[in-house]
Amino acid sequence: MLRRKDMTDLKTRFDAQKAAFEAEPWPSLERRQSRLDRLMALTRDHEPEIVAAINADFAGRSSHETRLAELFVIAGGIAHAKSHLKRWMRTQRVPTALHFLPAHNRLMPQPLGVVGILSPWNYPYQLAIGPAVAALAAGNRAMIKPSELTPNFSDLLARLVAKLFDPAELCVVTGDADVGKAFSATPFDHLFFTGSTAVGRQVAMAAAANLTPVTLELGGKSPAIIDPSADIARIARRLAFGKLLNAGQTCIAPDYLMVPQGQSTAVAEQLSRAVKALYPTIESNPDYTSIISERHRDRLAALVEDARTQGARVIEIAPVAANRAGSRKLSPTLLLDVKPSMRIMQEEIFGPLLPIVEYDGVDAAIARIKAGERPLALYLFGSNSDNRERILRETHAGGVTVNDCLWHLAQEDQPFGGVGASGTGAYHGEWGFRTFSHYKPVFSQTGLAGTALFQPPYGKVFELLLATLRRIT
């Protein structure tokens, strides 16, 4: 339940940032660079504490995964923003139609104001700081509400940010789900949410009451497709890595695998070998991450049991001890002979479970993808360019990696975001700067204004001018 103190604290912080923005509505390049430098210091100077806090929240999170997927990705994003920020901030001259000359047009990227960032638990540092990099680069103030499911990390982030930033620049608001709901209802100038589609709908509805624009980074059932031309032995390890990074608790992880008719058993064998090469053991392996909570682990176990009950073949690629009572490690698991009625084919999995579905021809593969909601990611494996281009043209997905998994997310020169049920809006690199900016069009008239010819009283001159313009435009 939301306490009065939490509500007061949230409003106080928001009001302070709003006032600070009004006092400095156009931060200089140097001021923005300073804020990015402090985010870089936060990332590089406090790596051990961040790794330890996230590990404690997961009760076993691979330190290498945290350093790669969170700290390394963020450091790269900050460096990219710093090197391009001067150009991004520049007011741009844009073309002016002949009949409006000698006036001219400009496009001015202007900070929006105060940005709210609601971040999830699965990549708590990357998905809190990544949007903040873009918001601060664009000249905004920002407030972050991290997930209540990572309390150790959330408290650490609040302390570290408070040391490096004035709370009127950047601050962290901690608290439970009720605080998150109040945060969603705060009249930010832009609200950025990463999380599930169900919660995303609630966030969008709360923001709509204030006409607050939103960016929604959601999820969905992202397919991976193995084309008949693919070298399964070569790509199996890439696919296994993409699925099992963070134990599958990744919004762009492959959610189900489509394989040519008759190949599910052969593909399952290759994947099993690849998983065992990546993770020779599970329970005591520091490279293999735990499920975030008992509730989420129980949910995943229930998905497997539901599929098993309905006739799926279940292949656990791990020692039985990995699934002992009380453990939050969950065996990498393949499921064959799955049916549309199974929960695992209806819900986003968000764990180390991979259903394998057979398809008969590229038309059937495309039809299956189009029958569902538009996913956040899509993966294609194979060398047949005709099939690849057909799938790229005829299906929708937030982003695509070809012959690998996940890596489209790390491209700072490409936007990252969803489409349809998997989200709206994008960020990373210049796209993040654009998300948190208003590109204000400015038309500047000169002393000699040709537009005076468009003014009344109307007559022959007006008709001649209009007829001439129709011929040349």
What is the DSSP track for 400-450? EEESSSSGGGG-TTS-EE--GGGEE-EESHHHHHHHTEEEEEEEE--SS-G
Token pair recorded at residue 381: 């494996």
What is Dmax (Cα atoms) for the chain?
91
**Would you state the pLDDT for residue 321?**
58
- Does residue 284 fall inside a structural domain? yes
Question: Do the Cβ atoms of 403 and 414 come closer than 8 Å?
Answer: no
Which has the closest alpha carbon to 199: 180, 174, 213? 180
pTM of the model as a whole: 0.94
**Alpha-carbon distance 118 to 206, whole Å?**
13
Burial class (CB in 10 A: 0-12, 13-18, 19+), 324: exposed
- Does residue 461 fall inside a structural domain? no
Do 189 and 310 lie in one domain? The reply is no
Which has the closest alpha carbon to 148: 255, 276, 57, 61? 57
**Alpha-carbon distance 376 to 422, whole Å?**
5
Cα dist from 182 to 214, 323, 334, whole Å: 15, 38, 40
**Alpha-carbon distance 125 to 307, whole Å?**
34
- Does residue 296 fall inside a structural domain? yes
**Alpha-carbon distance 425 to 433, whole Å?**
12
Token pair recorded at residue 166: 């004035």
Q: Catalytic site residue 217?
A: yes
Ranges assigned E (strand) in 201-269: 214-217, 223-226, 256-260
- Does residue 203 fall inside a structural domain? yes
Token pair recorded at residue 268: 């399952």
Q: Which 8-state DSSP code applies to residue 225?
A: E
Residue with tokens 């409006």: 100
- Does residue 451 fall inside a structural domain? no
Do 238 and 353 lie in one domain? The reply is yes
Domain with 32 in it: 4-218+424-438
Q: Which 8-state DSSP code applies to residue 320?
A: G
Q: What is the dihedral of CA 254, 256, 262, 267, to 10 degrees?
A: 40
pLDDT along the chain (473 residues), means of 10: 70 97 97 98 97 96 96 98 98 91 94 98 98 98 97 98 98 95 97 95 96 96 97 95 97 97 96 95 92 94 96 86 69 96 96 97 96 96 96 97 96 96 96 98 87 84 86 81
Which has the closest alpha carbon to 222: 14, 440, 421, 435? 421
Do 213 and 329 lie in one domain? The reply is no
Do 339 and 377 lie in one domain? The reply is yes
Backbone dihedral region for residue 361 (phi beyond 0: left; psi -120 to 50: alpha; all else: beta): left
Do 241 and 202 lie in one domain? The reply is no
Do 181 and 236 lie in one domain? The reply is no
Do 51 and 179 lie in one domain? The reply is yes
- Does residue 450 fall inside a structural domain? no
**Alpha-carbon distance 436 to 138, whole Å?**
6
Burial 435-457, CB ≥16 within 10 A → b, else e: bbbbeeeeeeeeeeeeeeeeeee
Which has the closest alpha carbon to 29: 102, 103, 67, 81? 81
Do 213 and 227 lie in one domain? The reply is no
Beta-bridged to residue 426, according to DSSP, are 417
Task: Choose the catalytic residue: 47, 65, 70, 217.
Answer: 217
Question: Do the Cβ atoms of 134 and 210 come closer than 8 Å?
Answer: no
β 223-226/256-260 pair status: parallel
Question: Do the Cβ atoms of 43 and 71 come closer than 8 Å?
Answer: yes
Question: Do the Cβ atoms of 278 and 239 come closer than 8 Å?
Answer: no
Cα dist from 5 to 18, 146, 179, whole Å: 20, 18, 11
Do 302 and 399 lie in one domain? The reply is yes
- Does residue 320 fall inside a structural domain? yes
- Does residue 471 fall inside a structural domain? no
Do 213 and 231 lie in one domain? The reply is no
**Alpha-carbon distance 416 to 252, whole Å?**
11
Burial 1-17, CB ≥16 within 10 A → b, else e: eeeeebeeebeebbebb
Q: Which of 383, 417, 451 is the last residue of a domain?
A: 417
Rounded to the nearest 5 degrees, what angle is found at the Cα of 124, between the Cα atoms of 220 and 114? 95
Number of domains, the chain: 2
Do 266 and 121 lie in one domain? The reply is no
Gyration radius (Cα) of the chain, Å:
26
Cα dist from 473 to 216, 249, 361, 463, whole Å: 40, 54, 48, 15
- The SS3 call for residue 119 is coil
Do 202 and 108 lie in one domain? The reply is yes
Task: Choose the catalytic residue: 47, 70, 169, 251.
Answer: 251
Q: What is the CATH number of the domain that holds 31?
A: 3.40.605.10
